[in-house]
Amino acid sequence: MRALYPDRQSFVERHGNGLRSLSALRIVLAETRQRGFAIEDGAITPGLASVAVPILDHNGLPLAAVAITYSSEAGPDLHALVARVKRTASEVTRRVGGSSI
């Protein structure tokens, strides 16, 4: 990761949000791995949030992802939304011959 982000200037500044250091990125990635899905709220575009789940290859490594973006104001049931995105990612993983999520 250090090759991609050698210094603080390597991180893209978006609307005053987002990551600003390699250590912050590592924390977010560890939390995402532990949860099994990624979430963001306003870090890319103010007012929009996203949930993403990986599609895995036959070695269990991320091949792609399924994501849904919604209005932060909509306040959907995050648990239900994650479950739907996970079901879709699991089906695509199965279809590409990947391992289970």
**Could you report the per-residue pLDDT of 61-85, keeping only the tens digit for each?**
999 999 999 999 887 899 999 999 9
The pLDDT value given to residue 12: 82
Query: Which tens digits make up the pLDDT trace of 21-58?
Result: 899 999 999 999 999 999 999 988 999 999 999 999 99
CATH tag for 36-101 (out of 3.40.1160.10, 3.40.50.970, 3.40.50.10140, 3.30.450.40): 3.30.450.40
Write the burial class of residue 51 (CB in 10 Å: 0-12 exposed, 13-18 middle, 19+ buried): buried
For the cut 90, the answer to whether the pLDDT of residue 20 exceeds it is no
Q: DSSP class of residue 18?
A: S
Q: What is the pTM of this model?
A: 0.83
How many whole angstroms separate alpha carbon 62 and alpha carbon 44?
21
- According to DSSP, the residues that pair with 14 across neighbouring strands are 17
For the cut 70, the answer to whether the pLDDT of residue 6 exceeds it is yes
Domain boundaries defined on the chain: 1-35, 36-101
